[in-house]
Amino acid sequence: MIRALVQRLRNKTRAWARRRHGIDPDPLTLSGRRIYILPSALGIGYAFMIFAMFIGAMNYGNNLALALAFLLGSLGLTAMHYAHRNLATVRIASALCEPVFAGQLATFRVSIENTSRVARHEITVSTDHGGAKPARIDPTERSVLELTLPALRRGTLVLDQFEISTRYPFGLFRAWAYVNMPMRCIVYPRPSERGIPPPPLETDTGGAQDATRGDEEYAGLRAFHAGDSPRRIAWKAYAREQGLHVKVYAGTAVTSHMFDWSAVKGHGVEARLSQLCRWIEDAFAEGRAFGLRMPGLEIAPNIGPAHRQRCLTALALFEGGDDG
């Protein structure tokens, strides 16, 4: 009951803060004016303690006890200023957010930079779904904090608002600001269960034009790059002390899958996307080449993580496509 009320109040303040500040630039230097501060539950306890001391001291006419109450009270007010300043003028920027599959947790990264010459403490970011572990940020350093959000559906998951907050120095006050910095995360479709076999491999004989692919015909040597297969290193040339080279082949017959939207019929859009996703994942895991054919989009067969990402992103952002 009370929790629901608090949540409603919180939502209202958030909406209000959003109207007040608008969309924030990325990166954002947090101005002191938009930092809110309230005593925490502990702070309220502290206030009660000081009040009890105050009443007792007044009652006994005891000046030292009164001075202690005033000192602790003043310390509380000083702590309030520290809490506020601890947050003001930090520089907030969004950082890389890696795509996830639907049903997983999306991790949004927020980079927080301390532009001042004083260390900042206990800075954290949070949403309704939880927050990061509070971090200490040394002068002119930056710290990347992570926010996780459940990615329920494929598409673009947008985190449009989060809180940056601190309870430094004594946990008596919580200073926070609403940051309206939209951050996006691509959510791939959830891969369906294994079961339906992928379409058979096709042999592409047109690879002759493509000098970068294939393994049929020796086409010369090129310099070694990190990541080249050791099987292709020209050891003989190396033995002749000509340096490390790799043999290049071309004009190949390449086998690849072509995953076609229209080939997965009658399952509904999401199910079809899930099936395509599963095939792509399996093919990628086994190192087989694959291509993707969607309505209005065709991605030629290829291999590698960039290709996989391109295909999965196409699935994630796929729009339309009736059940025909």
Partner 1 sequence: MASAAAAAFASAKHWPRFTQQLLWVIGCYALTVLPQLGDISLWLTILAGVTVTWRIVAELRQWRLPHKWIRIAVAFAAMLSVFATYRTLNGLEAGTAFLVVMGAIKLLETQNKRDLTIVLFVSYFLLFAGFLYDQDLLLLPYMLLAIWILTATLMRVHQSAHMRSREALGTTAKMFLQAIPLAALLFVFFPRLPGQFWSLPAREQARTGIDDEVSPGDVSELSVSGTLAFRVRFDGAVPPPRERYWRGPVLHDFDGRTWRRAQYPYVERRLLPTGPTYKYRLVMQPSQRVWIFGLDAVTTWPRNARRTFDYQLWANRPIATLMVYDLESASNYVVEGPLPNLLRAAALRLPEGRNPRSLEFARTLRSQVDSDEAFIAAVLNKFRDEEYFYTLEPPRLESNSVDDFLFNTKRGFCEHFASTFTMLARAAGIPARVVAGYQGGEFNPMNGYFNVRQSDAHAWSEVWIEGKGWMRVDPTAAVSPQRIESGIDAAISEDEEVPGRIFVRSTLLSQLRNAWDAANTFWNEQIVKFGQAQQQSLLSLIGIHDADWRALGWGLVATLIGFFASMSLYLALRYRPPRREPLVQAYEQLCKRFARINLPRAEHEGPHDYLTRVAVARPELAKQLSEVRALYVNLRYGPNPLSSDISRFRFLINQLRI
Other beta carbons less than 10 A from residue 20's beta carbon: 12
Lookup result for tokens 């899958």: 257
Number of residues counted as binding partner 1 (CB under 8 A): 53
Contact segment (CB under 8 A) with partner 1 among 65-73, 181-189, 193-201, 211-219 equals 65-73
Binding status of residue 182 toward partner 1 by CB under 8 A: no
Span interacting with partner 1, options 3-11, 116-124, 178-186, 302-310, rule CB under 8 A: 116-124
Q: Output helix, strand, coil percentages for the chain, rounded to the nearest 5.
A: 35, 30, 35
Which position among 14, 37, 70, 144 is part of the footprint of partner 1 (CB under 8 A)?
A: 70
User: How many Å apart are CA 251 and CA 206, to the nearest integer?
Assistant: 8
Does 85 participate in binding partner 1 (rule CB under 8 A)?
yes
Q: Which of 17, 30, 46, 307 binds partner 1 (CB under 8 A)?
A: 46
According to the binding rule CB under 8 A, does residue 39 interact with partner 1? no
Q: How far is the CB of 127 from partner 1 (least distance, A)?
A: 18
Pairing of strands 90-95, 105-114: antiparallel
Return d(Cα 176, Cα 274) in angstroms, integer.
40
Helix residue ranges per DSSP H, the chain = 2-21, 41-60, 63-87, 235-239, 269-286, 305-316
Least distance to partner 1, CB of residue 101, Å: 31
**Which residues in this chain contact partner 1 in the complex, by CB under 8 A?**
25, 32, 42, 45-46, 49, 52-53, 56-75, 77-79, 81-82, 84-85, 88-89, 115-118, 121-122, 133-136, 140, 167-171
